[in-house]
Structure 1
Amino acid sequence: MKNGGASALRNRGRVAVIASALMMTSALAPVMFAAPAFAQDANGAKAGQNGIEGQYAFDIPAQSLTSALAQFGVQTGLQVTVDGALARDVQAGAVSGTMRADTALETLLQGTGLSFDVTSDGTVVIEPLVTGEAAQGEVLDPVRVEANASDVTGPKDAITESFVASRSVTGSKTNTQVLDDPASVSVITQKEMETRNVQDMQQALAYTSGVAVDEYGSDDRFDYVRIRGFGETTNGVYRDGLPNHVPGWTVSRVEPYGLQQIDILKGSTSTLFGMNAPGGLANGITKRPEDDARGEVFTTFGENHLTTGGDVTGPVAEDSKWTYRLTALWQDAERAQDYSRDDRLYVAPAFTYKPKAGTELTILTDYSKRESSLAYGVPRGVDINPNTFLGEPDFNKFNTEQYEFGYDFKHLITDRLEFRQIARYTNVELEYRQVAAESSSPTANRTAYKIDGEMSNFAIDNQFEYDRSWDTTDTKTLVGFDYNRIDNRETAKYGTATGIGFVNPVYCGVGCINANTHWTDWDIEQNAYGLYAQEQLTLDDKWIVTLGGRYDYVQSDTYYVNNGTTEENDQQSFTTRAGLTYKVTPDVSVYGNYSESFLPVYNSITSVEGEVKPQEGTQYEVGIKYQPEAIDAMFTLAAFDLTQTNVPYNVTSNVKSQIGEINTRGIEFEGKMSLTDQVNMTVAYTYLDAEIVNDGNGTNDGNRPQQIPEHTASAWVDYTVPGQGWRGDLTFGSGVRFAGPSYGDNANQVEIASHTVFDAAINYRITENVNFAINATNLFDREYVTTSYNSVDYYGDGRTVLGTLKYSW
């Protein structure tokens, strides 16, 4: 909590704090940490009953003292109180292994100048070793912190103060350590997103191993995401664990300023999340209300770019059971290409209600409006400035307006059984106009597109989790049922516009455009039902067996308005997952898994001839994870083999083909480090051996699938020079992103050269509450082609430099 919140805490008295605020540091009021009622020690006894002399299994990494004491309270069930003024800016060492609680606490407090005492009711009180000014001063009402093991957001300081997050719910739909999940999981924290000043989902994921973004360069209609070689743009982008499936062009677009972290689960995920490609998924976590009052306002500016916004949160009133959060952003901006725009309005109110311990309801709403003018590719072989616009300025937009209402409900039925339900309703309207030059001849007609759509989506996920421990065995059983309904009404027309000169284009206006030929005029209704179960069995704190299974039934009805016909397509599948994790030491784990995926494919969507079959995938994966005790870091290394059948690929902009079988084998390495308060670092490398095993007629068998480079790598590091005297902290950051050669077609005739792009950042802390940052992407303005298909080259974005002035309290 910032200094400005201290007086508010003094007046507020005793406040309930959920797990999203569990790790908040720098509180100036006394803080009380308490474990949830269902916490248990390693021997199965109810936590805390053995007191300060009891034996407990500890796993507390080095971090701020406030955060460490919170985890100590969770892992022992003991109540801990500390004057926030004593704990502020104090670091605690790591504690790991089974030991007495007092021994662990002595380790945490070593070198801090603090000690502890135990009251008659068993409460642990942190106090100074000696009396003096540090032990005197105003006596403040304590703040009570209640841990919630199922909280989706994770420890608060892990997402705002560090590049490293040790837990994630995305890998197993339960609050599990990343070390324990038998899968490769990456987490992009709010701290990392803010440091790099990401402007969209693609930028947020750009430094993640196994993930390829920016596939179509400056064409930013969608958040193009490819994981382990498989396209996840239309099916693999999730928010709060619920899907954002795209059955056409009308898409729900994610505003990164509204997220507090992004989890990337790699590999087949259908046993938990249903229909998806085998590559994995990216799950954005929406910002939640917090119990401590804080906020920020900012403005970002650059060439033809102005953004302003703010984020405030806290209790609705003194001693209220309600907390709130309001996140808002307004933007008036252009992209690098001529006549392109990126205007945004985003407003997201959220409320959390906690009527009693073990019950919590969070209401999440948002309104988003984007007015975008599109960038597009350049005809292959035409040598012009990539920013040259070859469309029509008066017929060039990709505008979306969406509103969403959802909630996240948790209720502890017993000390071992919890029910969770998360739901969201989304409505999106699309207005899409475009003229594209696809021929290298300036006299050839250009192609025109006119698409209007409205999509509504309702998604709900119900989960029961039952936890139990006895002797040396722990079980975590999850049973769930989810439902997703999409109604997508779209009218798409195409046609032509007259040719245009490439060097000095002269625009002809809407009068030269004829886009009246029906392409599609449909109403797609899709209902997806899923029933799943998962068991996580831990033996002797070392062996973790994860087993899962899921049945999916997907019903799709496509009504063609122009001819009055209806196409029905029902598909079903049962997918399985089996994983084994072995904890070599408390900070090193090795794992292996087998998993399956299922993704329906529909004739109405893919526009291919003949029978359309569902895509089915399998994955084999082994890996090792290392989270050292001495530093705040996470390292992962994974090797995998994925196979998927019946994969659709673009042949032209409106025709797709299904390839019989594709295989990708590869190795991923990733490291995230917040080494000290002064150094953050990420490194990532991916090797992908991708092959078209069978394309149905043998034409491309053995070739490399289009748009998949063999090697990708990235690295980011920032270093803070501590302020002295009048000068505040000064942070320098730099990053590099590399993508190796690839092909623009499955015939491997169109070669795409490799490219390396550099990013940079400077942040100056003017005062305790005021920061000024400059972020540059593609620092050296490298001109490069990201991909090429349908005789069009797509160029990456040029250099962008943005300055951000932020005031926080």
Structure 2
Amino acid sequence: MLLSSCAIVLPLQAFAQNAEETDAGTMLKPIILQGDGSPVGPDSTIVAKSSRTSSKTDTPILDSAAAVSVVTQKEMDERGVKTFDEALSYTPGVSTDIYGSDNRYDHYLIRGFYSTGQSTFKDGLQVRSDNFTGSRMEPYGLQRLEVLKGANSTLFGMSQPGGVVNAISKRPQDYKFGEVYTTFGEDHIETGTDFGGPIDPDGVWSYRLTAKWQDAKQGIEYSDDDRVYIAPALTFSPSADTDFTLLMSYNKRNGSTSHGTPYSLRGQIDSETYLGEPDFDNMDTIERNIGYEFRHDFGNGLEFRQNARYTDLDLTYEGVFAPYATGIDDWTSIVGNRNSLAIYGHSQRFDVDNQLQYDASFGQFDSKTLLGVSYQKTKLAERRYDGSDPTKPPIGIDPFDPAYSGRDPVIDAFYRDFDDHGSQAAKSVYLQEELTLDDRWIATLGARYDHVKTNSRSLFTQYSPSYISLSDDTSVDEQFTKRAGLTYKATNELSLYASYQESFLPVGASRSSYVSEPKAQEGTQYEIGAKYQPEGMDAMFTVALFDLTQTNVPQYDASYAQYQVGKINVRGIELEGKMALTDRLNLTAGYSYWDAEIEDDILSENIGTRPALVPKHMASLWADYTIPGNGILGDLTFGLGARFIGQTYADNATLSRPGKSNQISLPSRTVFDAAVKYNVTESTTLAVNATNLFDREYISQVDNYSYSAYYGDRRKVLATLKYTW
């Protein structure tokens, strides 16, 4: 139907395109029709129209009873995104750069809750960080990012209550395409390619290959951000009813551990002072993935889908951290002992999600029923060394005149190790009904049952004085979660919705320290909102108000016994607008207000205070405008963005150092980004992207134990030369 309508309305444009006269007649350049209706992309503009993440069905964003933000590949390209944090940094409801120069993982908050490690998904399947063993996502391998906000365990199982981020891998297309590029800047060089298309004349087989190599620094001396990424993909589509896509990736990253400086010495030493050990500073991972997506339409409204992936991950984590202080401003010695840590981890994970969808119509009613069965299992082996041998000289350093000790003294100073082995298996079944009445009222009801079995075996050895401890624990968590939503389409452009959603997240298998039978952490959310998608304009505007609570949060008392008395509530509002106003002007705007409060805590002084790192206000604005060259010069695009994060607190009170909460206040900050792109030829572009354009210096976090300050990333300017075909 799409092709037929295009054939009617586009003949004049087709004949008006450039033509080449030859002896055989007139040869026209091909027209490539690329629709924006796919729930997984790719998208031709910054505005996405539908999403599979919101309901695991192909549902227009306008119809969904949930807050969904989509970062398209077009938007990531315009902003020159190089990290997962940068991709999410203009999304309302998401706080990034929360640990500044600590780039070990993809750190972010959704609706005030720390979501790293348990709430990141790729192609609908969870991407885990277990203990310290985790990896980082490569944005160049993605064609969109979808952020589903709020408690969503009914769809995705174990996760934090703030929401989930689902990354969509690049996959084969039914037309030929390609690009090759190189990016360069201070201490940064990278090159990459992305190409694919049909293999056979009928397009039954198609392929894609995405690859990237990078040699770079993280902006601090002795740091690394080296990458090798290779992702081949193959699609077999013998008919319109069946397709099978094989997705593989190899992601090797050589990075560095967190880099902090004593908070008490702020303003006295350079914020980029390196107080680690160059010979013992590695955050290196090798991640291998192989998976597939399968779909078959049986006809008569019945369709089956299956997603599966196997992941193998190796970790080498070695680091020496800033000198330890006894208080916020208690730096009393210019030479301090440093903390050191070494971790060697290996994890294996298998995940499969089966979905059976049945669509039917009954008079004024349209029904979309989804039945899902999923299974996931993770195995982890991790060896951790830490502690400072009291019989050995301290690994000290002078913050004003650093001199490094080398690798051997660090290793010799370790006096204890933890040998951890664990596994977790989750079996789940879920059911969802989307019922539409008169194309106006859409009711969404969902329920899910999860059975999670966790095993944990840990051997603790201390060398001086000699001590050995062995723990071997098994736990089982069963959880039933629900969701309910109602959408009213007031017009074809405007929808109003209300929803209730739940989440759960089991605690660890080692439960001997709990004073009562441990329970899974639970989240509940109430939300109302509106969405506006004007006809005749490529734009989407959304507003959402929510009330989100997490309970059963584990906490230690002074004797290191654990109680589940923690309760945190966040109420807020989010506004978002994405507009491709013309083919020359794009605009993205967002605002978030979070009223966050600790309602119950093991420490009475924390009750009524704001959780650490949660701002009240966040805002962002990005605009880019293209000046056409009109065939004389190439098109010239200018982009400018601003990100505002309100005041936060770096701390709650701690049991080892009890006292008044929220002592360390971190001021609000506004960071600017910019971009310039020039079309050298029709196929060649030169772009310059700058993050933190004015080199704003700010502290993102202060560690609550060592009182080390972590500064945000400083200015980075990169130039990219790209050739496409």
What is the TM-score normalised by the length of structure 1?
Answer: 0.81
TM-superposed CA distance for 1:137, in Å, is: 6.0
Whether 2:468 is the aligned partner of 1:591: answer: no
TM-superposed CA distance for 1:792, in Å, is: 1.6
Does the 8 A contact of 2:104 with 2:256 survive in 1? no
Cα deviation, 1:652-677, whole Å, max 9, x if unaligned, reads 9x999865210000000011111111
Does the 8 A contact of 1:450 with 1:515 survive in 2? no
TM-superposed CA distance for 1:415, in Å, is: 3.1
Aligned partner (choices 437, 449, 455) of residue 347 of structure 2: 455
Does the 8 A contact of 1:783 with 1:798 survive in 2? yes
Aligned partner (choices 207, 222, 229) of residue 346 of structure 1: 229
463 and 758 in structure 1: CA distance in 2 versus 1, 3 angstrom threshold: same
Aligned partner (choices 757, 760, 772) of residue 674 of structure 2: 760
Aligned partner (choices 356, 365, 369) of residue 477 of structure 1: 369
808 and 177 in structure 1: CA distance in 2 versus 1, 3 angstrom threshold: same
Whether 2:502 is the aligned partner of 1:502: answer: no
Aligned partner (choices 328, 331, 335) of residue 443 of structure 1: 335
**Corresponding position of 2:658:** none
Aligned partner (choices 215, 223, 237) of residue 332 of structure 1: 215
For residue 594 of structure 1, what is the amino acid of its counterpart? Y
TM-superposed CA distance for 1:442, in Å, is: 3.4
Does the 8 A contact of 2:423 with 2:454 survive in 1? yes
CA distance in 2, matches of 1:622, 1:712: 20
CA distance in 1, matches of 2:246, 2:98: 35
206 and 144 in structure 1: CA distance in 2 versus 1, 3 angstrom threshold: closer
Aligned partner (choices 699, 702, 709) of residue 793 of structure 1: 709
Does the 8 A contact of 2:335 with 2:399 survive in 1? no
CA distance in 2, matches of 1:685, 1:765: 33
TM-superposed CA distance for 1:749, in Å, is: 1.4
**Corresponding position of 1:99:** none
Aligned partner (choices 575, 585, 601) of residue 507 of structure 2: 601
For residue 425 of structure 1, what is the amino acid of its counterpart? Y
Whether 2:324 is the aligned partner of 1:427: answer: no
Whether 2:303 is the aligned partner of 1:303: answer: no
785 and 141 in structure 1: CA distance in 2 versus 1, 3 angstrom threshold: closer
Whether 2:351 is the aligned partner of 1:466: answer: no
Does the 8 A contact of 1:297 with 1:310 survive in 2? yes
TM-superposed CA distance for 1:557, in Å, is: 0.3
**Corresponding position of 1:696:** 602
TM-superposed CA distance for 1:634, in Å, is: 0.5
Does the 8 A contact of 2:515 with 2:562 survive in 1? no
The alignment partner of 2:496 has SS state of strand
For residue 69 of structure 2, what is the amino acid of its counterpart? S
310 and 146 in structure 1: CA distance in 2 versus 1, 3 angstrom threshold: closer
798 and 632 in structure 1: CA distance in 2 versus 1, 3 angstrom threshold: same
Cα deviation, 1:293-336, whole Å, max 9, x if unaligned, reads 11000000000100000000111233352100000000000111
For residue 526 of structure 1, what is the amino acid of its counterpart? Q
For residue 729 of structure 1, what is the amino acid of its counterpart? D
Whether 2:98 is the aligned partner of 1:215: answer: yes
**Corresponding position of 2:49:** 166
CA distance in 2, matches of 1:177, 1:519: 52
Does the 8 A contact of 1:400 with 1:430 survive in 2? yes
Cα deviation, 1:530-554, whole Å, max 9, x if unaligned, reads 1100000010010000000000111
Deviates more, 1:510-519 or 1:201-210: 510-519
**Corresponding position of 2:464:** none
Cα deviation, 1:718-737, whole Å, max 9, x if unaligned, reads 00001134310000000000
Runs of at least 5 residues in structure 2 that lack an aligned partner in the other structure: 326-330, 389-393, 461-468, 653-660
TM-superposed CA distance for 1:337, in Å, is: 1.0
Cα deviation, 1:123-168, whole Å, max 9, x if unaligned, reads xxx999xxxx9xx96589999999998x6524x4xx2x21100100
CA distance in 2, matches of 1:553, 1:146: 42
Deviates more, 1:508-517 or 1:337-346: 508-517
For residue 75 of structure 2, what is the amino acid of its counterpart? E
CA distance in 2, matches of 1:594, 1:332: 46
Deviates more, 1:744-753 or 1:482-491: 744-753
608 and 195 in structure 1: CA distance in 2 versus 1, 3 angstrom threshold: farther
CA distance in 1, matches of 2:256, 2:162: 31
Aligned partner (choices 708, 718, 725) of residue 802 of structure 1: 718
CA distance in 2, matches of 1:719, 1:657: 55
**Corresponding position of 1:409:** 294
Does the 8 A contact of 2:649 with 2:664 survive in 1? yes
CA distance in 1, matches of 2:557, 2:186: 37
Whether 2:422 is the aligned partner of 1:524: answer: yes
Does the 8 A contact of 1:446 with 1:498 survive in 2? yes
For residue 491 of structure 1, what is the amino acid of its counterpart? R
For residue 438 of structure 2, what is the amino acid of its counterpart? D
538 and 139 in structure 1: CA distance in 2 versus 1, 3 angstrom threshold: farther
CA distance in 2, matches of 1:204, 1:515: 40
Aligned partner (choices 470, 476, 481) of residue 570 of structure 1: 476
% identical aligned pairs: 48
For residue 193 of structure 1, what is the amino acid of its counterpart? M
Whether 2:538 is the aligned partner of 1:632: answer: yes
Does the 8 A contact of 2:554 with 2:564 survive in 1? yes
Cα deviation, 1:258-292, whole Å, max 9, x if unaligned, reads 00000000011011100111100000000010121
**Corresponding position of 1:26:** none
How is 1:227-306 mapped onto 2 (pairs within 5 angstroms)? 227-306=110-189
113 and 247 in structure 1: CA distance in 2 versus 1, 3 angstrom threshold: closer
For residue 671 of structure 1, what is the amino acid of its counterpart? G
**Corresponding position of 1:734:** 640
Does the 8 A contact of 1:217 with 1:797 survive in 2? yes
The alignment partner of 1:413 has SS state of strand
Aligned partner (choices 620, 623, 632) of residue 529 of structure 2: 623
For residue 550 of structure 1, what is the amino acid of its counterpart? R
Does the 8 A contact of 1:247 with 1:605 survive in 2? no
Cα deviation, 1:481-520, whole Å, max 9, x if unaligned, reads 1111110110111023511111220001123314533353
Aligned partner (choices 174, 178, 197) of residue 80 of structure 2: 197
For residue 153 of structure 1, what is the amino acid of its counterpart? V
127 and 725 in structure 1: CA distance in 2 versus 1, 3 angstrom threshold: closer
559 and 759 in structure 1: CA distance in 2 versus 1, 3 angstrom threshold: same
CA distance in 1, matches of 2:551, 2:352: 29
The alignment partner of 1:480 has SS state of strand
CA distance in 2, matches of 1:605, 1:240: 33
Deviates more, 1:721-730 or 1:797-806: 721-730
Deviates more, 1:466-475 or 1:265-274: 466-475
Whether 2:709 is the aligned partner of 1:773: answer: no
TM-superposed CA distance for 1:776, in Å, is: 0.3
Does the 8 A contact of 1:331 with 1:345 survive in 2? yes
Cα deviation, 1:62-82, whole Å, max 9, x if unaligned, reads xxxxxxxx3xx6xxxxx4563
For residue 695 of structure 2, what is the amino acid of its counterpart? D
773 and 145 in structure 1: CA distance in 2 versus 1, 3 angstrom threshold: closer
785 and 142 in structure 1: CA distance in 2 versus 1, 3 angstrom threshold: closer
Does the 8 A contact of 1:234 with 1:244 survive in 2? yes
Does the 8 A contact of 1:606 with 1:648 survive in 2? no
555 and 589 in structure 1: CA distance in 2 versus 1, 3 angstrom threshold: same
RMSD: 2.6
CA distance in 2, matches of 1:147, 1:503: 59
Deviates more, 1:313-322 or 1:759-768: 313-322
Cα deviation, 1:209-263, whole Å, max 9, x if unaligned, reads 0001111001110000110001110111100000012221111321100000000
Does the 8 A contact of 1:337 with 1:375 survive in 2? no
TM-superposed CA distance for 1:433, in Å, is: 0.3
Q: Segments of 4+ in structure 1 off by > 6 A?
A: 139-149, 605-610, 649-652, 654-657
CA distance in 2, matches of 1:357, 1:561: 55
**Corresponding position of 1:61:** none
